[in-house]
């Protein structure tokens, strides 16, 4: 593993201390509901307050550039507290890989998720002798899958210490600690020297950055000359019109429910990666590619957002069915009512239902944005760092 530039900053130490106080020993337990029950209530209240302060009582028509910039300036707190609040709910309702994927005809959820990760690994040419950086690694689901698929060594970087600890625990349980390292750090200030990694990837993580050019420039710095960077980016499509209040509401609901200070359009993403110094080799909206396949007469595949919707016909296995029943609109009504009972009984801390409702609001906006082709969670960009 490349040596980090410094062991840990004072700010990181403070963040870790807070995260440890909030989650206590739940980083070593099974995720989901059991972990929710173990939180420190006073620290949970702080997390809720710090996260929601940027969105409370703000409507689409009231948004100004100053409001967006205030969120952007506070990106680190927004991202860290979002995952303090949302991680257990993600593991309960989704899985240990916090991303979307495409679906082939008749393909089960778990297989599609793994294939999506394999496709990125293949696209950037990962090999067994490579040292690879996963930027915004979550609880390490993709890193574990990619390490097993390509045989490479993966270092996961994450601002949230709770997720770092969970990622380490999961890697140890699967006997993969020799192939995986997880480090707490800010991807706007990656704690590794120049030219440290053979390849870098990011899966639906750099959308939390205050500046795409900024985070891509840091990735460029730590990537070796000739190395490849691949990213699945969350972007608004060319169809998005910020002057359309209905469009803006969709964007705001996605941002609030997913811890994003501000999202950018596809053209801005492409400009940012090239401005960072990369030579862009491939870029494609994989969500739109599925639409093109359907128009060409291919067998109808399930849309990327189907697990958040209400159409149970897309479920291929019992696990798929349970996922959609937890995540779709009607399943969320039941789950949120259940969480209210648990909050009233002091089984889970206050703010758990509020967080779940925020995630649910985002889920509805993701489905609407996907159906209207205003948003993509899988704009693939593959780029190389020049050798000179």
Task: Say if CB 139 and CB 156 are below 8 A apart.
Answer: no
pLDDT of residue 316: 82
pLDDT of residue 259: 92
pLDDT tens for each residue of 126-155: 999 999 999 999 999 999 999 999 999 999
Q: Tell me the CATH number at 352.
A: 3.40.50.150
Residues 31-57: pLDDT tens digits?
Answer: 677 778 778 888 888 998 998 888 776
C-alpha closest to that of 279 among 234, 233, 216, 198: 216
Higher pLDDT, 80 or 30: 80
In whole angstroms, give the CA distance from residue 113 to residue 102: 8
* CB-based contacts of 324, cutoff 8 Å, min separation 6: 306, 307, 309, 312, 314, 315, 331
Mean of the pLDDT values across residues 373-380?
97
Tell me how many domains the chain contains: 1
Model confidence, pTM: 0.91
The pairing of beta strand 153-158 with beta strand 180-184? parallel
Overall average pLDDT of the 291-317 stretch: 70
pLDDT at residue 297, as a whole number: 47
Over the chain, what is the mean pLDDT? 88
C-beta of residue 257 within 8 angstroms of C-beta of residue 355: no
User: Residue for token digits 């309702």?
Assistant: 93
Percent of the chain scoring above 70 in pLDDT:
93
**104-107 contact pairs (CB < 8 A, 24+):** 104/301, 105/298, 105/299, 105/300, 105/301, 106/316, 107/301, 107/302, 107/316
Q: Give the pLDDT band of residue 301 (cuts 50, 70, 90).
A: confident
Range of the domain at 288: 1-388
pLDDT, position 92 = 81
d(CA 303, CA 43): 38
Q: What is the residue whose two structure tokens read 């778990």?
A: 110
The arithmetic mean of pLDDT across residues 268-286, rounded, is 97
């Amino acid at each position: 593993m490349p040596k980090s530039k410094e062991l840990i900053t004072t700010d990181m130490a403070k963040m870790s201390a807070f995260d440890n106080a909030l989650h206590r020993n739940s980083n070593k337990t099974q995720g989901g509901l059991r972990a929710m029950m173990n939180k420190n209530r006073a620290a949970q209240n702080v997390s809720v307050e710090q996260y929601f302060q940027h969105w409370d009582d703000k409507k689409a028509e009231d948004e100004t550039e100053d409001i967006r910039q205030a969120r952007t300036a506070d990106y680190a707190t927004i991202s860290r507290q979002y995952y303090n609040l949302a991680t257990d709910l993600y593991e309960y309702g989704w899985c240990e890989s916090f991303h979307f994927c495409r679906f082939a005809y008749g393909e089960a959820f778990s297989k599609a998720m793994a294939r999506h990760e394999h496709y990125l690994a293949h696209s950037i040419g990962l090999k067994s002798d490579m040292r690879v950086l996963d930027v915004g690694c979550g609880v390490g689901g993709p890193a574990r899958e990619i390490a097993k698929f390509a045989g490479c060594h993966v270092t996961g970087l994450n601002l949230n210490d709770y997720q770092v600890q969970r990622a380490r625990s999961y890697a140890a349980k699967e006997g993969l600690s020799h192939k995986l390292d997880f480090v707490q750090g800010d991807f706007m200030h990656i704690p590794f020297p120049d030219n440290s990694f053979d390849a870098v990837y990011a899966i639906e993580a750099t959308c939390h950055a205050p500046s795409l050019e900024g985070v891509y420039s840091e990735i460029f710095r730590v990537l070796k000359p000739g190395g490849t960077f691949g990213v699945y980016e969350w972007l608004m499509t060319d169809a998005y019109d910020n002057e359309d209040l209905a469009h803006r509401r969709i964007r705001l609901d996605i941002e609030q429910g997913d811890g994003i200070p501000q999202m950018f359009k596809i053209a801005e993403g492409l400009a940012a990666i090239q401005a960072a110094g990369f030579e862009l080799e491939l870029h494609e909206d994989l969500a739109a590619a599925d639409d093109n396949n359907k128009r060409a007469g291919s067998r109808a595949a399930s849309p990327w957002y189907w697990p958040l919707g209400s159409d149970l016909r897309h479920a291929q296995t019992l696990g798929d069915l349970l996922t959609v029943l937890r995540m779709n609109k009607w399943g969320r009504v039941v789950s949120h009512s259940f969480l209210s009972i648990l909050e009233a009984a002091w089984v889970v801390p206050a703010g758990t239902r509020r967080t779940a409702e925020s995630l649910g609001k985002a889920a509805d906006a993701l489905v609407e944005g996907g159906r209207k082709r205003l948003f993509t969670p899988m704009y693939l960009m593959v780029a190389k760092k020049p050798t000179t």
